Amino acid sequence: MGLRINETVPNFTAMTYQGEITFHDWIGDSYAILFSHPKDYTPVCTTEFGAVAQLADEWAKRGTKVIGLSVDGVEDHKGWKSDIENVAGTTAGFPIIADEDLAVSKAFDMLPADAYLPDGRTPADSATVRSVFIIGPDKKLRLSMTYPMTVGRNFAEVLRALDALQMTDGKPLAAPANWQPGQDVIVGLALDDDAATAQFGALDIKLPYLRFAKDPS
C-alpha cells in the first residue's frame, strides 16, 4: 500500500552531495518538498531540477525546503549539478539524495521491495521514481503526485498546491478548482453561515454546501 495523505513520512539517513542528512531532522519546523528522479544525466529531469533551482526565492518565501533524489551516487550528482546550473542559468543550492541502494525509493513506495538495479541499467529500470511529495512541519504527507518520464513536471503547479496547502492549514477552508492565490476560497461546512461570516467576512453562497469567502491570506 502506498504512502497515504496525512501519514507520517518515513524517516531515513542518507548521503547527499552536501553531506549526510537525517530526513526528519533536516525538515525541522519547515514545509518540505522531496522530488525524485530515476537517473542522473537524463534530459527531462535536468530541466526539472533547473526549474526547482529557478524558484529558490519562492520556496524561501514560503518557508519550504526542497530536496532532490536520484538513484545514482554522490559523485554523479556533483557532475550533474553543473549541467543543471548551466541549463537553468542559476545555482542549484538544494541537496540531492544519493539513493543507490533504493532504500528511500522503496520506503516511499516508488519501487517494490524486491526492486534492484541491473548491470547496464537505463532510466526505464527505475522509471517510477518520479514523484513529488509535499510534507508538513509535522512530518506528515500533505500531497503527492507521480509523472511518467515523458512528461516534465509543472513546478508552477507544485508552487500553487503549496500555496493552497499553507492557506488552508489548520483552517476550515479549501481551494476550489484552478484556484490561484488571492482568489476566493471555499468555507468548510464545519461552520454555519453566521460563524463563517464572523470569521471570514461576507459569504458568496452558490449552493447550501458551496460558500465562498475572500482569501484570508
Q: Which of 14, 27, 32, 45 is catalytic?
A: 45
pLDDT digits (tens, 9 = 90+) for 53-108: 999 999 999 999 999 999 889 999 999 999 999 999 999 999 999 999 999 999 99
Side-by-side strand order, sheet with 96-98: 19-22, 13-16, 96-98, 64-70, 31-37, 131-135, 141-146
The values of phi and psi at residue 193, to 5°, are -60, -40
- 45 part of the active site: yes
Phi-psi map region of 41: left, alpha, beta (phi>0 left; psi -120 to 50 alpha): left
| Nine cell digits for residue 74 | 554522490
pLDDT digits (tens, 9 = 90+) for 126-183: 878 999 999 999 999 999 999 999 999 999 999 999 999 999 999 999 999 999 999 9
CA 36 and chain centroid, separation: 9
Write down the pLDDT at residue 24.
Answer: 98
